[in-house]
Each structure stands twice: as C-alpha cells, then as structure tokens.
Structure 1
Amino acid sequence: MTSPQLPHVPDIDDPALTAELRHRIGRKTVPQGALGRVAWLAERLGAILGSTEPRLQAPQLVVFAGDHGLAARGVSAYPSDVTWQMVGNFLAGGAAASVLARQHGIALTVVDCGVRHDFDHPAAGPLPRQGVAPSGGSAACEAAQRGGEVAAGPLPRQGAAPSGGSAACEAAQRGGQVAPGLLIRKIAPGTQDCSTGPAMSAAQCAQALANGAELVKALPGNALLLGEMGIGNTSAASLLTARLGGLDVAEVTGAGTGLDAEGIARKTAVLREALVANAGATEPLAALAALGGFEIATMVGSVLQAASERRVVVVDGFIASAAVLVASRIAPPVLQRCVFAHRSGERGHARMLQLLGAEPLVDLGLRVGEGSGAALAWPLLVSACAILNEMASFESAGVSDKG
C-alpha cells in the first residue's frame, strides 16, 4: 500500500528537561517517592508539553463514529442502528462520555467518519434530544448551517433551558443541516465486510487519515482525549491487535457489547476468516485498511497530528489503543505523547497495553468506550500539573528535609 502524506512525529526525548522535572518533583514537600505515579504523570506531562511548568489548556474529547460491515456477521450483541442512535445520545448530552465531559469542562466533538445513517438529510429523522436543546440555540444551528462545525464549549446540562434551540434546529433540519457538535467526515456508510476482503480501499484509508489530521488542526487546546462509537469496532480492534502484535486472535477477542460464550466463539471464528481473507495485509497501513474501521483510521490520523503538534494524547480503552498501536507502528515517537487512561475490562486490552509498553492510570473494569475512561482520568492529569506547578518545595516553604 502506498503511504499517504502523514504528519511528521519527531522524537521529543530531552534528558536535560527530564532531569529538571525530576529535580523539581523530588524537592516537593513530601517524603521521597511519596507521590507515586502522580510524580510520573507530572513528569510525563512536562515532557510532552516541553515545560517544567506544564499547563493543560482547552481539553478536547473527540468521539469518532463509524459502522462496520463485519457487524452483519453477528459479531456484536447490538444492531448497527445503535451507532447512529448513540451519536444522537452524545449530542443530547445523555451518553456516559457526554456527562463526564460536561462534569470536567471538556469540549466534546462527535465525528461521523462512516456511520450508516444520513445525518445531513432531514428524511433521516431527527436525532434524539432527551429534552436538551443545543447550546447556543439559533446561533449554534446557524454555525451548523455554515458548515457543520463543532461547538466550541462543553455540551449543555440535561434539562438546560433552550435558547431558541428546538425551533432553530428544526429549521436547520429542514435545510438538511447537521446538529451542532457533529462533524461530518463520512468516507462511506460503513466499511465492507472484512471477512471476505478489505474493509476499505487504500484511497478511503488515506482520506480517513487526512480527515483525522485536519480536524485536529482546527481544534484549540493542547490535549486530545480519544473516544469512539461503532457497533463492531471491538472486532476491528481485535483484528488489528492480532495482526500487528503477532497474536492468536482468540487471545484478544472478548464480549464487546455483551456477547455470551457462544457469541464470543462465533465472533472469534468470523475474525479468523477476516485474517485469512486479508493475509497479505501485514504492514500497519495495509492492516488498517484491510481490518480497521473508518473511525479507527480517522483516529489514527488525529493521533499522528496531535503528536506532531506535541499535544497530550489521552488514550481511552481497547479501540482507542488499537488506533494508537497503528499510529505508533507508523511513527514510534507517538507513544511519547500518550497517557493511557485506564485498563479496559474488554479482553485483549491488557495484552494490547503490554504490546505498547504502557501502564494505565487506573483499572476500574470499564468497557464503556466513548472516551469515558479518558474523561474519568482527566482530573488526575489536572492534579498532576497542579502538584508540579503549585506545591511548595522544601526550600520555598522553609521545611526541613530529611537529615
């Protein structure tokens, strides 16, 4: 597969900066080593942002959504319609990631990378709102009419009073416009069934990568939190992990949205078919096109761009980690910019983290996806920066160090 033009991700290893960060952390008014992994996190953030006083700005949670042709083979407990319905739930503020983003002041953007639903067309039906009008009402819908650009701030709280929202968005729908907070970057309405051939063409994969890079360029801030939504995408993540990690696919295939033992066995058998059908796709980009999804490919492009801009990349669970795995095989220094939020309860994620040499911040048994784990972990990053920037040293506080 011919490589598309991708963002350059330089090595940011800086021994002098690392030494200075460790010295600053080591002089804080706590016993040596008492900060545990908070000290590691503070050092990591300083290294990523290139500063001994790192400050996180305008965090962006991007939920990449797309459907998978493989879902027709029964690899998920839920129908593909759930993908577009959950997009509506995100925009309404009712999804787990929406609640957590709102709680922690994180801007949320949903990207239609390849959902099997026409959000542009009023005949597709209105998105579910759960009683919430879009933030900014008329102005927000006018912004959507100008090109479907994202809302700049957090989503409104459930039950928030509309500001001309309902009427304005009905007008937007009559004009065939998308809802505020939703970016349309659709490659196609779902991938092909990769159990019989490639999920997407090389050209489609290249376009998804470019889309991901471009959308990050337009986002403010210096931190990107990765989220996703797509029925069948744990299958794609399992396939990419098995192919790029040289693992038996059964080792990294789990329940996804809730399959029982029989369902997992059926899913595993289908994934073996996909690996056989795409046996020649062994390089990272070829594997991504053959076995991935539009949302994963777009996410890979975003990860590469965020890394090239030296943003902090907060990695959620299994699917987001699969995108990072691909990105890191393309540009290994990507991993220098990553903070892995949590260890997912999805089978395969622990093995994935081993492949990446990553130790996540928390293990809560989550397997929600959506970027929910990344949003939950966000306050830890904020706290680590505060410790580094605001906590007194033994010298500044006039506190005696150990003898």
Structure 2
Amino acid sequence: MRTYHIETLDEIFRKTAQDRIDSLAKPVGSLGKLEGVARKVATIQNTLNPQLKNPHHILFIADHGIVAENVSPSPKEITWQQALNITQDGAGINIFTKQHNFNLIIVDAGTDYDFPKDISIIDRKVRKGTRNFLHEAALTPDEVNFALTYGEEVVDLVAKNDCNILSIGELGIGNTSVASIWMSLLTNIPLQQCVGAGSGLSEEFTLRKYDILQQSVDRYTGPLTPMTIMSEFGGLEMIMAVGAMLRAAELKMTIIIDGFLMSNSLLMASKINPEVEQYAVFSHKSEERGHILLLEYLGVEPLLSLNFCLGEGTGAVCAYPLIESSVRMMNQMKSFEESRISHINKF
C-alpha cells in the first residue's frame, strides 16, 4: 500500500471562512448545517468564493464470496442485473444523477459476470468476486493493492474533466456483511451492533447472518491493520472506494459520503490517513442499524435523514443541492456591512 499525501486543511483560513459566514446578513448560525458545509468547501478550496465544478458520481460494483453462506436473501445475480439496468437508465441512481447534473461513471470492480464490451461500464475487474471469508481470506494483499490503485485511477480520470466534487456509490449483494465486519474491527463496537438487516432480512435471518460473520471474524487470529482487514474481509467495490476517497482528498476534492457502506469505506480510508475526513461531507443517515453508531463514532451529523437504504450512492447525490446552496450562500449573500444593516447583537 502506498503512502497517501493529503494536505491538512488550514485552520487559520477555516476561521477566516467562519468569520465571513458569521458576517453575512443573518443571525449567526441561523443556516445551521449549511454553514458548516460552506466553511468546509471554502477551506478545501482555500477561497471565500468556492465553486462546484462538474460533479461526478462513481459507482463501483462487485460480488462477494460470503453470499454462498446465505447472508442475503437476494441472489448474487442481482448485482450484474442491476448494473445492466443502470446502463439503461433504469435505476434510482440514474434519476438523481440526471436531475442534479452529475456525470455517472460505472466501474466493474469484481463482478462474477462478463459484461459486454460495448456498454458504459469501465472494466477494472480484479477477480470475479471475492473468496468466501468464512473459510479463507477474501483477497490477497496484491489484489487489495490493485483495487486501491484502480480506485485512484478512476478519480484521476474524472479530475481530468475539471471535477472538484464527487460522490461514490456501491452495488454488490452481500456487501453489508463486509461493512459490518470492517466497522466492528475498526471501532471495537461489538459485531452484533454493527450487523443490520441489509436488503430486507427478518430478525431471525439477521441473527443467523451475525452468527456467520462472527465465525468469520473468529477464523482470523492475525494482526488487525487496514491491509489485513481489507485482505481477510474485503469487498472489491468498497476497497476501490477507499482508494478513490484517498486520491480525491490528495487532489483536494470535496467528497460526498453516502450511507452505511460508504461511511465504512471512509472509516477505512481514515485509518490509512486520518486527514481524509477533512474532505468529507456526510450526506445522510441510512436505515442500517450500525450506521447511527458509526456516525457517532466519527463524530459527524449528516445533512439528511431520509430513511434511505438503497445504496448506489443515491443519498449522496440527493444531498448535492444542499451543498450547492451552501456555496451560493458564500458567493451571493451580502454581509451586514455590504447591506448597510445594523449588526445583530451576539449574546
């Protein structure tokens, strides 16, 4: 794994941005979370007049060997079938990316399917799904490094399109199992509290899923590092997202974080380089039971709570208009002085 060089954001400029926001013609703090987003985007771009350029949404797709243990009621074929549906503009993510003028990039990180060569899916397949981590490591360290690198390469691709804000989504039956294990091992929160229903499991099925995942964790007795966790319990779409987030932060992009899956990819990225968190805007709180605990662990409060649990990055894209509003506030709202309004007393 290479070393990621992510610049620490300037605390002095952060205060300058906050002072500008506080000077605007409104009561201090009255625009709530938008003010925090505006401060973050301005600090990332190191300007009091930030701009959002050419937003992209990267969707990584992959399959998971653990699905063989019936941790999901959905067959793994849904992964490639839904991917094809997305290429035909038939999914939720298509609606929202079109609505908010995102360029949608679909990347095959590791599906157990051979897509036609003439469709709009970028082939970065590391292997046809991970191995079953109940019995063996999901990936080799080399495969993890390939996935990280491919994630970086996709970000470099969108950066050439003058993109400075991106969101990332995932598609892969069984990936909540991966996310639950990552969350538990990286936070020390008990696994049972991290395991949710995924795609529509009953409580009984969820308990069985937990039992299988606990057996998987017990199988591995080695050191717990980002590399060993990704290798033993990895998902290729999630690892590519980790690489993408780290590279985006190196390039000083604003990264919109989706729900449970992508919050765990951000968690993993932060264990590799903590500075990546400074570039993240958390979009929404999902319906996965572990997501609330993870957000609390990270000390963040997302913009929205829409009861989403779809995945694909839909929540991140839906939050974009609020980020855009925060930037418009910085650029277009006049200060008290500019408006010749008497300042409101600060108590």
Tell me the TM-score range normalised by the shorter chain. Answer: over 0.9
Which residue of 1 is the match for residue 148 of structure 2?
209
Aligned 1:51-70 pairs, distance under 5 A: 51-70=47-66
- Structure-2 separation of matches of 1:285 and 1:352: 20
* 1:186 to 2:125 alignment: yes
- Structure-1 separation of matches of 2:147 and 2:223: 18
Which residue of 2 is the match for residue 23 of structure 1?
19
> Partner amino acid for 1:319?
L
Which residue of 2 is the match for residue 90 of structure 1?
86
Aligned 1:358-397 pairs, distance under 5 A: 358-397=300-339
Which residue of 1 is the match for residue 197 of structure 2?
255
Structure 2's unaligned 5+ residue stretches are none
- Structure-2 separation of matches of 1:249 and 1:312: 31
> Partner amino acid for 2:331?
N
User: Which secondary structure state, in structure 1, belongs to the residue aligned with residue 289 of structure 2?
Assistant: coil
* Alpha-carbon shift at residue 6 of structure 1 (Å): 4.0
| Deviation readout 1:3-46 (Å, 9 max, x if unpaired) | x224322322x122112111111111112221111111110111
* Alpha-carbon shift at residue 286 of structure 1 (Å): 1.0
| Deviation readout 1:318-363 (Å, 9 max, x if unpaired) | 1111111110000000000000100111111111112222211111
> Partner amino acid for 1:205?
V
How high is the TM-score relative to the length of structure 1?
0.83
Aligned 1:3-402 pairs, distance under 5 A: 4-12=1-9, 14-120=10-116, 177-180=117-120, 182-219=121-158, 220=161, 221-402=163-344
User: Which secondary structure state, in structure 1, belongs to the residue aligned with residue 167 of structure 2?
Assistant: strand
- Structure-1 separation of matches of 2:223 and 2:283: 30
Change in CA separation of 1:327 and 1:100 when aligned onto 2, cut-off 3 Å: same
Structure 1's unaligned 5+ residue stretches are 121-176
8 A contact 2:66–2:132 mirrored in 1: yes
Task: Please identify runs of 4+ aligned residues in structure 1 that moved more than 3 A.
Answer: none
Question: Based on CA coordinates, which of the two structures has the bigger radius of gyration?
Answer: 1
* Alpha-carbon shift at residue 270 of structure 1 (Å): 0.7
- Structure-2 separation of matches of 1:394 and 1:252: 47
| Deviation readout 1:180-213 (Å, 9 max, x if unpaired) | 2x11100011000001111101110010001011
Alignment length, in residue pairs? 342
User: Which secondary structure state, in structure 2, belongs to the residue aligned with residue 366 of structure 1?
Assistant: coil
- Structure-1 separation of matches of 2:110 and 2:13: 42
8 A contact 1:285–1:326 mirrored in 2: no
* Alpha-carbon shift at residue 393 of structure 1 (Å): 1.1
* Alpha-carbon shift at residue 399 of structure 1 (Å): 2.0
- Structure-1 separation of matches of 2:221 and 2:277: 27
* Alpha-carbon shift at residue 398 of structure 1 (Å): 2.0
> Partner amino acid for 1:366?
F
- Structure-1 separation of matches of 2:11 and 2:261: 32
- Structure-2 separation of matches of 1:348 and 1:235: 11
8 A contact 1:239–1:271 mirrored in 2: yes
User: Which secondary structure state, in structure 2, belongs to the residue aligned with residue 348 of structure 1?
Assistant: helix
- Structure-1 separation of matches of 2:141 and 2:234: 12
8 A contact 2:4–2:273 mirrored in 1: no
User: Which secondary structure state, in structure 2, belongs to the residue aligned with residue 365 of structure 1?
Assistant: coil
User: Which secondary structure state, in structure 1, belongs to the residue aligned with residue 106 of structure 2?
Assistant: strand
> Partner amino acid for 1:9?
I
> Partner amino acid for 1:321?
S
> Partner amino acid for 2:50?
P
> Partner amino acid for 2:8?
D
CA-based RMSD of the aligned residues comes to: 1.1
User: Which secondary structure state, in structure 2, belongs to the residue aligned with residue 34 of structure 1?
Assistant: coil
- Structure-2 separation of matches of 1:15 and 1:73: 48
| Deviation readout 1:364-394 (Å, 9 max, x if unpaired) | 1111110000011000000000001111111
8 A contact 2:41–2:254 mirrored in 1: yes
> Partner amino acid for 2:107?
V
